[in-house]
Amino acid sequence: MFRCFLLLALSLAVVAGCKRDDALPAPVDEAATPAAQADAPLAPVELKDVIETRPDYIVGISYPDVASKYPQLARALHDYAERARGELMQSVAALNGQKPAAPYDLSLQFRSLAETPRIVSVAADGSSYTGGAHGNPLVERFVWLPQQQKLLTADQLIADAAGWKTVSDVVREQLMTELSQQLDDEGLEADARSQALRNGSRMIDAGTAPEAANFARFEPVMNADGSIRVLRFVFPPYQVAPYAEGTRTVDVPAQLLLPLVAPEYKALFRAG
Four-CA torsion 77, 81, 84, 88, nearest 10 degrees: 180
One domain for residues 15 and 148: yes
Say yes or no: 96 and 196 in one domain. Answer: no
CA atoms of 183 and 240, how far apart (whole Å): 15
Judge if 61 and 181 occupy the same domain.
no
Residues of the chain with pLDDT under 70: 1-43, 272
Expressed as residue numbers, the domain containing 87 is 2-152
Element (H, E) at 232: strand 228-235
Read off the pLDDT of residues 152-194 as tens digits, 9 standing for 90 and up: 999 999 999 999 999 999 999 999 999 999 999 988 899 999 9
Final residue belonging to a domain, choices 106, 128, 152: 152
Give yes or no: residues 161 and 225 share one domain.
yes
pTM for the model: 0.83
Give 84: exposed, middle or buried? Use CB within 10 Å, 0-12, 13-18, 19+: buried
Last residue of a domain, one of 117, 152, 187: 152
Residue pLDDT, tens place only, 72-107:
999 999 999 999 999 999 999 999 999 999 999 999
